[in-house]
């Protein structure tokens, strides 16, 4: 999960800062557009959720598949959906 979050943030930064297209990123890293599109939303996770994942403190039931189901734009909604409320 750490690698996926790191990729999501790196790819988001490239898209925003360098105006790189998803297809270009996919070609450069040797994967599909779909894979890049699936991980890209991880670049919008709340900072405290990212820290918890990087430190291995995420809820035990939080999986990459669960994150891939959809990340709300609201950080409060992210915390609620992924089990970080009261953590």
Rounded Cα distance, 76 and 66, in Å: 17
Token look-up 């790191």 returns 6
CB 12 within 8 A of CB 43: yes
Q: From residue 40, how far is each of 25, 53, 55 by CA, in Å? A: 11, 16, 21
pLDDT tens digits along 4-39: 999 999 999 999 999 999 999 999 999 999 999 999
How many domains does one find in the chain?
Answer: 1
Q: Please give the model's pTM, rounded to 2 decimal places.
A: 0.88
Q: Is residue 87 part of a domain?
A: no
Q: Is residue 11 part of a domain?
A: yes
Q: Which domain holds residue 39?
A: 2-82
Q: Is residue 33 part of a domain?
A: yes
């Amino acid at each position: 999960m750490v690698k996926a979050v790191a990729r999501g943030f790196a790819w988001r930064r490239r898209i925003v800062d360098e105006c790189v297209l998803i297809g270009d990123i996919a070609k450069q890293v040797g994967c599909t557009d779909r894979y890049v599109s699936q991980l890209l939303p991880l670049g919008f996770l709340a900072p405290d959720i990212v820290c918890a994942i990087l430190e291995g403190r995420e809820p035990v039931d939080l999986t990459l598949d669960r994150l891939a189901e959809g990340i709300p734009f609201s950080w409060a909604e992210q915390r609620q959906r992924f089990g970080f409320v009261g953590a």
